[in-house]
Amino acid sequence: MRTGDQIVQDLPWRWSVQGKIFLIGGLGYMFDAWDVALNGFLTPLVGAEFGLSPGQKGLVATANLIGMAVGAVVWGTVADRIGRKRAFSVTLLVFALFSVLGALSPNVEVFLALRFLAGVGLGGCVPVDYAIVSEFSPRRHRGRVLSAMDGWWPVGTTLAAVTATLLVPVSGNWRWMLVLMILPALLLFWIRRGVPESPLYLVRKGREAEARAVIDELVRRTGAPAEPYSIPPAVVEDTRGGAVTAAFDQLRRVWAFNPRITAVAWSLFISVMLVYYAALSWMPSILRAQGFGEIAAFASTALMNALGIVGVAVAVLLVEKVGRKRIVAVAGPLAALSLVVFSLLLGSPTGAVIAIGAFGMLALVVIPVMYAYVSELYPTELRASGFGWASSSSRAVTGFAPLVFGSLLWPVLGLPLTFAVLGGLVVAAVVFMMLGAPETRGRELDRIAEPVKPMAPATTTQVP
C-alpha cells in the first residue's frame, strides 16, 4: 500500500488545483524580486536626497538584504515548526506594513531600519513559497514547476525597473516606488488565506485526519482514481524552545542531516547570488558613472531584467530533459563571464547593453534551476529550513556586497577583475556540486538525499 505523500506526488497536474498554488506562491516571489531590484533604483535617489557618500549608498541595499537573511531563517523555521500555511500568509503582511512606513521616512536612519524590517517579512517568501509549491507538485512535473516559479522573478524586477523609470520625473519619486508595491501585496495576503496546508507537512507531522482530508480533496479535484493509502508515523523531533532556539536547532539539524549536501547548497547560493545581487544593486549606478543618463541607465537595467523571462523559459524547457546539475554547471559560469565581458565593453554602449541582456538571461537560467534543486535535496521536515538557511547564508554575504562593491571592489580592483573574482567563486561551487551532491530529476521527495546518520535530537519528543 502506498503512503499519502506518494499519492500526492503521483497525481495528475491540474491548473485549477496545483496550478493555483503555483500562481499564488509565484506572486509572492514576484514581490521579493520587485523589492530586491528596487534597491538598485533607490540607491542613487535616496543617496541624492539624504546626501550619502558612495560607501553609505551601499547601505540602502545592505539593510534590506540583511533583513531578508534574517527573515529567511525565521520564516523557514516557522514553516517547518508550525506549518507552511501560517508563514505563507503573514510574510507579505509584515513586508507591506514596513514598506509603507519606509515611504514616510524622515531621515536615512529611519529609512534603513524600516527597509531592514520589510526585508525580514519578505525574506520568508522564497523558502516558504518553494516549500509549499514543491510539496503540492507531482514529481514528474516538479522540476518544471519549481523552475517556472522563477518566472515571477523577472516579472517583479521588470516591474520595479519600469515603475522606477516612469517615476524619475516625479517629485519624491523613491517614496512612490515603495508605495506602489503595497496594495497588490495586501491583496495577495488576503488571497493566500484560502490556501490549504501542505499535505506532505501534515503527513510528516502525523496529523492524519487533516492530511487525509487534504489528500482526498486533491484526489477528487484532480480526477485521479481513489485508492487506499497509509499515513506513516510522525517524524520524531524536539519542538521545544523559543523562536531563536528553534531557528538554531533547525540549523543544527540541517547540517546534521547531511553536511556535504548543506555545504553544496550554501556554496551555490552564496556564489551565484553574490554575482547576481552585486549586478542588480549597482547596475544603474555603474551605467550612470559611464555617462548614461538616469532614464537610459534605468531602462537598460529594465532590459536586463526583462530578458530574464527568456532565461526562465529556457530553464523550464530543459530542466527535466537535461537535469538540474548540468544546467547549473553550464549557465552559472556563463552568467558570470557575461559580466566580465560587459565591464570590458563599457566604452561601447551597444556592446555593453547586449552583454547586460545576456547576463539577465543566463542568470535567470541558473537561479530557478538552483532553487528547484536545493529545495528537493532536503526531507519535508527540513525543506523550508534547509532552503531558508541556504538563502539566508547568501543574503547575509550578499547583503554586504553592495557596501563592499561600492567602497572597495569597484574602486580598487576595477569592474573586470571584480566580476572575474566573483565568477571564480561560481566555478568552484559548481565543481563542488558536481562531485558532492546527487541529481534530483524524477525522484520522489524525501527519497533523494540520505541522512548521514539518524536525525533524532538529543532530547526527543514524539509528535502526537
The pLDDT value given to residue 361: 93
Mean pLDDT of 154-175: 79
- Domains of the chain as residue ranges with CATH: 4-436 (1.20.1250.20)
Say if residue 73's pLDDT is above 80: no
C-alpha distances out from residue 306 to 145, 356, 403, 438, Å: 20, 11, 26, 32
Minimum mean pLDDT range among 51-65, 98-112, 395-409: 395-409
Burial 119-136 (b: 16+ CB within 10 A, else e): bbbbbbbbbbbbbbbbbb
| Helix ranges (DSSP H) in 103-197 | 108-122, 125-136, 139-149, 152-167, 173-192
Minimum mean pLDDT range among 209-213, 217-221, 275-279, 372-376: 275-279
Say if residue 406's pLDDT is above 70: no
The pLDDT value given to residue 453: 59
**Residue 228 CA to chain centroid, in angstroms?**
37
* C-alpha closest to that of 332 among 289, 414, 285, 269: 269
Torsion angle defined by CA atoms of residues 447, 453, 455 and 458, in that order, rounded to the nearest 10 degrees? 170
The pLDDT value given to residue 426: 96
For residues 74 and 254, give the distance between their C-alpha atoms in angstroms, rounded to a whole number: 14
Report residue 458 as a C-alpha cell.
538529543
The pLDDT value given to residue 122: 79
* C-alpha closest to that of 291 among 361, 360, 356, 352: 352
The pLDDT value given to residue 402: 62
For residues 109 and 237, give the distance between their C-alpha atoms in angstroms, rounded to a whole number: 42
Say which residues have a Cβ less than 8 Å from residue 330's Cβ, sequence separation at least 6.
none
The pLDDT value given to residue 109: 93
C-alpha distances out from residue 31 to 54, 122, 160, 178, 400, Å: 27, 8, 9, 11, 21
In this predicted model, what pLDDT tens digit does every residue of 330-343 receive, in sequence order?
Answer: 999 999 999 999 88
Say which residues have a Cβ less than 8 Å from residue 289's Cβ, sequence separation at least 6.
none
In this predicted model, what pLDDT tens digit does every residue of 50-69 receive, in sequence order?
Answer: 988 877 777 887 888 888 87
* C-alpha closest to that of 363 among 402, 409, 414, 314: 314
Report the residue count for the chain: 464
Report residue 441 as a C-alpha cell.
530529476
DSSP annotation of 224 reads: P
In this predicted model, what pLDDT tens digit does every residue of 207-247 receive, in sequence order?
Answer: 899 999 999 999 999 999 999 999 888 776 555 555 556 66
CB–CB of 64/119 below 8 Å? yes
For residues 126 and 137, give the distance between their C-alpha atoms in angstroms, rounded to a whole number: 16
The pLDDT value given to residue 38: 83
Give the other-Cβ count within 10 Å of 41's Cβ: 29
Mean pLDDT of 437-458: 69
In this predicted model, what pLDDT tens digit does every residue of 344-358 receive, in sequence order?
Answer: 988 888 888 899 889
Q: Band the pLDDT of 172: cuts 50, 70, 90.
A: low
Give the other-Cβ count within 10 Å of 412's Cβ: 9
Phi, psi of 230 (to 5 degrees): -110, 155
Mean pLDDT of 147-151: 80
Q: Band the pLDDT of 250: cuts 50, 70, 90.
A: confident
Burial 387-396 (b: 16+ CB within 10 A, else e): bbbbbbbbbb
Higher pLDDT, 427 or 100: 427
CB–CB of 239/461 below 8 Å? yes
Say if residue 92's pLDDT is above 60: yes
Say if residue 455's pLDDT is above 70: no
User: What is the helix (H) or strand (E) element at residue 418, kind and residue range?
Assistant: helix 415-436
The pLDDT value given to residue 154: 79
Q: Band the pLDDT of 265: cuts 50, 70, 90.
A: very high
The pLDDT value given to residue 223: 93
